Amino acid sequence: MNENNNITEGSIFKALIKLAIPIMGTSFVQMAYNMTDMIWIGRVGSKSVAAVGTAGFFTWLAMAFILIPKIGAEIGVAQSVGKKDLDAAKDYARHTIQLNIFLALIYGACLLIFRKELIGFFHLGDQEVINQAISYLVIVTFGITFYFINPVLTSIYNGYGDSKTPFMMNTIGLFTNMILDPILIFGIGPFPSLGVKGAAFATISAQLIVTIVFIYHMKNKFPLFSDFRLWILPKGIYIKRIVKLGIPVAFNSGLFTIFAMFIARIVASWGPVPIAVQKVGSQIEAISWMSASGFSTAISTFVGQNYGAKKGKRIFKGYFTAIGIVSIIGIIATCLLIFGARPIFSIFIPEEEAIKYGVEYLKILGLSQLFMCIEITTAGAFNGMGKTIPPAIISILFTGLRVPAAKILSSENLLGLEGIWWSISMSSIIKGILLATGFMILMYKHPDIRGKKKIKIDFIK
């Protein structure tokens, strides 16, 4: 293993920053894909934004399936590298890619077969929005394999300790998307104006480019893919552990998306403008969410490698170092969303009615940013130790409670549309507090982290 990727020794702060910054950059690149689409689509109109936002729920739901091999790659590769067992790391890389491709094909087939029923779930009530949403979903589905594979390849690199390379790969995709979006949405030169369809074509083209660049680098420069053979039968013992590690996180992600769909269905009863507002508002809020996700992946890799190397004290120090950093990010995000709500939202949709709703959304969600950052980062620390169930339970429980809370609070006798936003914000605050408390208890009870005795880890031989 390259010593530059060794995060089991040396300065914890430097190791986390060195690992986290490119991962955060990659997260922002992924966010920028969606923001770029929203900025250009927002110029077409709120109905088009509502269509892309509605279809986007199913690419969001795809993450539930992507996370099974993704989490398996992060934890399996990181712990194997920490143990200095590169053969096991290579096996985890191969098995996660095989599982990922299989899941992509199954999920894509379901989207195509049930496309009308899936969009019909939202009861949009506007045939123009419905038709645009179906068109966007179908086009994106034809590129779903690239959408699936890139996060898993990124996780393999991250687990190995190389977060710079996937950042560069994904940045190439972002620039591709930024160039293609206005060309295909509005029609420039010989290209016709495709509107929502153009945004979909731009997205899958960018994802294809990222996959091609990844494959080139893996074949020529990445140690875990030397003598790599994809088309051989997988071993059940690896698939079993990958699924065991990934299922709780994937189940949490899937239910999170489903709960969000029910929330969107409640929002839809207020008309297409609030739907567009929620879509754009969530993209703006993603500034802090993606930052925390970067540190979540960094702390997961950091904890995973140090757990594999049996260095518990570094896990303790690393966790609190990461929490300190993301707390600063959360506070800054709160200030931006509360005090800069109007100018920020107006960048995306210039319609006055949408801006009014958007300002309310950002101010209410701004209150929970610190706790959301703590929640997401702590979940990564749990994952690094291979304990993916506790954060999944807390997240599922309190995210699920958003649906009845939104229904009750949004009644005309209470808060109206703002009640939906309050249900989301309050649950994030509770999850952040509970999850951080839970991990601190875990560290206190863990003998190696307390410095009493070494931990025993069962690795696949």
pLDDT digits (tens, 9 = 90+) for 114-123: 988 888 887 7
Confidence category of residue 150, pLDDT binned at 50, 70, 90: very high
What does the pLDDT read at residue 6? 61
Confidence category of residue 263, pLDDT binned at 50, 70, 90: confident
User: Averaged over 114-142, what is the pLDDT?
Assistant: 87
CA separation (Å) from 93 to 104, 238, 307, 353, 402? Answer: 17, 10, 19, 49, 36
- Indicate the pTM of the whole model: 0.70
What does the pLDDT read at residue 394? 92
Distance between start and end Cα atoms, the chain:
19
CA separation (Å) from 396 to 163, 250, 258, 402, 438? Answer: 29, 11, 11, 10, 15
Q: DSSP labels for 6-40?
A: --SSS-HHHHHHHHHHHHHHHHHHHHHHHHHHHHH
What does the pLDDT read at residue 447? 65
3-state secondary structure of 275: helix
Tokens representing residue 83 in the block: 């143990």
What does the pLDDT read at residue 457? 40
The more confidently predicted of residues 2 and 60 is: 60
Q: Taking each helix axis as running N to C, give the angle between helix 272-308 and helix 369-384, from 0 to 180 degrees, rounded to the nearest 10.
A: 40
**Residues in the chain, how many?**
461
Per DSSP, helices labelled H in 340-401 are 341-346, 352-366, 369-384, 389-400
User: Averaged over 214-242, what is the pLDDT?
Assistant: 82
What does the pLDDT read at residue 5? 55
Spatial distance between the Cα atoms of 317 and 433, rounded to a whole number of angstroms: 19
- Contact criterion met (CB below 8 Å) for 43 and 239: no
- Contact criterion met (CB below 8 Å) for 433 and 425: no
pLDDT digits (tens, 9 = 90+) for 276-328: 777 777 778 777 877 888 788 888 888 888 877 778 788 888 888 889 988 99
Please give the distance of CA 299 from its chain centroid, rounded to a whole number: 15
- Contact criterion met (CB below 8 Å) for 81 and 114: no
Spatial distance between the Cα atoms of 33 and 30, rounded to a whole number of angstroms: 5
Residue 333 clears pLDDT 80, i.e. is over it:
yes
What does the pLDDT read at residue 459? 36
Residue 458 clears pLDDT 70, i.e. is over it:
no
Highest mean pLDDT of the ranges 61-65, 264-268, 412-416: 61-65
The more confidently predicted of residues 253 and 376 is: 376
What does the pLDDT read at residue 205? 92
pLDDT digits (tens, 9 = 90+) for 23-35: 777 777 776 766 6
Among 158-162, 193-197, 228-232, whose mean pLDDT is lowest? 228-232
The more confidently predicted of residues 450 and 302 is: 302
What does the pLDDT read at residue 430? 94
Instruction: For the chain, give the mean pLDDT.
Output: 83
Confidence category of residue 417, pLDDT binned at 50, 70, 90: confident
Tokens representing residue 459 in the block: 């690795």
Q: pLDDT over 90 for what percent of the chain?
A: 21
What does the pLDDT read at residue 386? 81
Highest mean pLDDT of the ranges 305-319, 349-363, 398-412, 420-434: 420-434
CA separation (Å) from 240 to 72, 133, 171, 214? Answer: 10, 37, 33, 26
What does the pLDDT read at residue 104? 94
What does the pLDDT read at residue 387? 85
CA separation (Å) from 341 to 238, 280, 346, 423? Answer: 47, 12, 8, 19
Per DSSP, helices labelled H in 45-126 are 46-82, 86-113, 115-120
Going from N- to C-terminal start, the domains of the chain cover 9-445
